[in-house]
């Protein structure tokens, strides 16, 4: 099912380039931190150097992805670095249960 704007119901590959377009920047975000951030809100199936695969099931979720992406603040990337330095995120991070394997990979970067 088409969710509009190039998104489908199910798995969607979203690139760093697309997020940077939404943010009106020129590829100047810390991708691992963005994936860490968006994991609070969506089920992530996989990610790479400049892409992430996210499950979307409705137009409302697609709109929420856009909203949360434009709310992203690069200045908080230092919180990500601190989170990765300890294990507190395992019990305190919003998306920890849903995206545990992805977050473990990100924490080891």
pLDDT-based confidence at residue 29 (cuts at 50, 70, 90): very high
Q: Torsion-angle region of residue 34: left (phi > 0), alpha (psi -120 to 50) or beta?
A: alpha
Q: What is the mean pLDDT of residues 80-101?
A: 87
φ/ψ (deg, to 5) at 28? -110, 35
Indicate if the pLDDT at residue 5 is higher than 90.
Answer: no
What would the pLDDT profile of 51-73 be if each residue is shown by its tens digit? 999 999 999 999 999 999 999 99
- Residue 27 has a pLDDT of 72
pTM: 0.91
Indicate if the pLDDT at residue 1 is higher than 80.
Answer: no
């Amino acid at each position: 099912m088409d969710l509009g704007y190039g998104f489908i119901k199910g798995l969607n590959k979203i690139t760093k380039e697309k997020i940077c377009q939404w943010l009106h920047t020129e590829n100047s975000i810390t991708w691992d931190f963005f994936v860490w951030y968006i994991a609070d809100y969506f089920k992530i199936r996989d990610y790479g150097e400049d892409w992430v695969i996210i499950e979307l099931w409705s137009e409302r979720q697609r709109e929420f992805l856009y909203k949360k992406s434009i709310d992203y603040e690069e200045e908080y990337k230092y919180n990500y670095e601190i989170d990765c330095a300890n294990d507190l995120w395992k019990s305190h991070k919003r998306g920890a249960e849903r995206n545990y394997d992805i977050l473990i990979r990100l924490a080891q970067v």
